[in-house]
Amino acid sequence: MADQRRQTLTVAERFLPDQPGRRRADGATLVSLFLLALLIIPARLVLSFVPMTLPPALVVALLLGVFWVSGQMVDNVGMGKGRNLVRTAVALYLASQLATYGVATRRWLPTDELTVADSSIIRITSMIAVAVFVCDAVRTKERLDRVLKLLLACAAVIAFVGLVQFGLGVDLASYVSLPGLRVQDNGYSAMEARSIFRRPTGTTNHPIEFGLVCAMAVPLGVHYVFKARDDGTPHVRWFACLALVGLGALLSLSRTALLCMAVGAVIMIIALPRPRKIATAVVGGGCFLGATLVVPGLFGTLRGMFSNIEDDPSVKARTADYEAAWEQIDLNPLLGRGFGTYLPTKYTILDNQFLLTMIENGYLGLFALIGMFLAAAFAAIRVRMISRDEQLRSLASALVAAVISGGIASVTFDLLGFGVATGLVFTMLGASGALLRVAAEQRRRAPAEPATQDA
């Protein structure tokens, strides 16, 4: 009878973490391990006992893929089943990557390009595994909150490390040393400067990546500050996290970070209720003015980044290679030359992921990549349409802002060439799918209540 009782338990009864007794590890626990490996362990540290560049987060991501496949084969571990918009879009992206890899390796490739193509397909597959695992294994609002709160806290830690680099010139990440890991030189120093300021990297590989990580966490910070106030729980810690990631994005001195943070702020202000629109705009504007007053010369540097953009050497360098890029696209327009094979050391650096995707994955790969961002954004918007839970609707707005930020960043730098930013983006994509599952489950349990018409 006991065995029969265990078999007849519903997925929710077995999976919900709020049941009495000891809480068991679940999908959210495993995603949390991935986020700690991705965001807290410095990106320059890779496994020392393998010949390829293999960060610890990549190993965890591959394990998540194994767990997802295993979970789909059984019905008693709480893995999400059935159709999901985000999971479908991610599956199409995986199909495009596999098709490109098959075509690229079928023809002759130089040894250096073939080696990178092999490692790149492993890397992108592991990130896809993260997205589908988050989408299907994080099944409740409480557990999704736990994952995203950890993400925000880790981003705040990265921002703190970056602020120390910016203000004191001390790279705390360089002091981290773990058994079994070695330092992989990325060719960039956290102490390199723009104008009169050092450009921080935090625990990431590059200031642009650092800025994007902080900018994508800002909408989550806004959401959890207001959520804590609504719940009557301490909100100072979340406000501190919000202040750290916001300041980190600002001091990254990255156009990508500033643009993404501005777009995210606009989306959040549009989606928030009227009193919160005003509070968000006032606090955000006040923090910006305060930062420019405390850091002499910061406002002039930020203004110069955009006012003289047509004469900026970095912008000219980004656009100078577009003609050669289109020549490469014309060689293999449908499926591209192979993901990762357009080596920056051999050809040129393209700070545009969409353009790079057209070269490496063709137009099909580009449509699949854009489709992932659109599907995740629509999934979050759909949550706002069908849910009556104001906190779910607010979280959906934050995820829309974060996902759109990732899409914008793909225009301004080669997103998929940076492991931390890529891992964070795919986590956000999966979180959008998970949130849609949660909202759909809530709606299924209360079919008699009329759905809100306010999108």
What pairs with residue 45 in β-bridges? 183
Residue 264: name the closest of 417, 154, 428 by CA: 428
Beta carbons within 10 angstroms of residue 253's beta carbon: 22
- pTM across the whole model: 0.88
For residue 22, being part of any structural domain is answered with no
Which structural domain range is residue 136 located in? 27-443
Task: Please report, for the chain, how many H helices and E strands are present, in that order.
Answer: 17, 4
User: Which of 200, 249, 256, 199 has the alpha carbon at shortest distance from 221?
Assistant: 249
Per-residue pLDDT, 293: 73
User: Does the residue 404 lie in any domain?
Assistant: yes
The size of the chain, in residues, is 455
Residues 6+ apart with CB under 8 A from 332: 103, 362
Give 55-59 contacts, CB < 8 A, sequence gap 24+: 55/419, 56/181, 57/419, 57/420, 57/423, 58/122, 58/123, 58/126, 58/419
69 part of a folded domain: yes
Contacts of 278 (CB under 8 A, 6+ apart): none
Output the six-digit token pair for 102. 């098959």
- The answer to whether 393 touches 270, Cβ cutoff 8 Å, is no
Per-10-residue mean pLDDT of the chain, 455 residues long, equals: 44 43 76 95 87 87 93 82 90 94 86 86 94 92 94 95 89 87 72 70 90 93 90 86 91 87 88 81 77 71 67 62 77 86 80 89 94 95 90 93 92 88 95 93 70 43
Domain assignment present for 130: yes
Q: What is the DSSP string of 263-306?
A: HHHHHHHHHS-HHHHHHHHHHHHHHHHHHHHHSTTHHHHHHHHH
Domain tally, the chain: 1
The pLDDT of residue 378 is: 95
* pLDDT for res 5: 43
Q: Can you read off the two tokens belonging to residue 286?
A: 């006040």
Check residue 408 and give its pLDDT.
92
Site of tokens 């998929």: 416
Are 250 and 291 in contact, with CB atoms under 8 Å apart?
yes
Q: What is the pLDDT of residue 328?
A: 81
What pLDDT does residue 216 have? 94
Tell me which residue of 120, 183, 159, 146 sits closest to 343, measured CA to CA: 120
Query: In this structure, is residue 337 part of a structural domain?
Result: yes
pLDDT recorded at residue 75: 81
> Quick one: pLDDT at residue 23?
61
Quick one: how far is CA 9 from the chain centroid? Answer: 35
Task: Say which DSSP state 310 is in.
Answer: G
Whether residue 253 contacts residue 312, with contact meaning beta carbons closer than 8 Å, is answered with no
Task: Tell me whether residue 4 is in a domain.
Answer: no
- Biggest alpha carbon distance in the chain? 77
